[in-house]
Amino acid sequence: MIALLKKELRSFFSSLTAYLVLFIFLLINGMFLWVFKNEMNIFDSNYAGLDGFFFISPWVLMFLVAAITMKMFSEEIKSGTFELLLTHPLSDFQIVISKYFASILL
């Protein structure tokens, strides 16, 4: 399971997708903290704390982690290595969890 986790992280950071996901995460957080008019906007509240960032980040990560995990499975199926992965002595649960943890570690 650790080997699969390392493989997913290595393949993810070798592509442009990882940097695009990080950019989207920072862009969405920046938009909520600086541009959108709400109680977390730094300009409106005159308070430059990290409260808004830590309030928004779990919501953004919830959707990004799910999207990254789905992309990992679709790339396995598209490249034809998913059947090879199923022949390893790992249960389906271990495969899903290792891909999920790899996307969380992003």
Q: Which tens digit of pLDDT belongs to each residue from 19-76? A: 888 899 999 988 888 888 777 777 777 777 778 888 888 999 889 888 888 888 888 8
| 84-104 tens-digit pLDDT | 888 888 888 988 888 888 888
Q: What is the DSSP letter of 91?
A: -
31/53 Cα distance (integer angstroms)? 11
Q: Is the pTM of this model over 0.75?
A: no
Element spanning 35, H or E: none
The tokens for 45 are 């509240």
The tokens for 4 are 């699969």
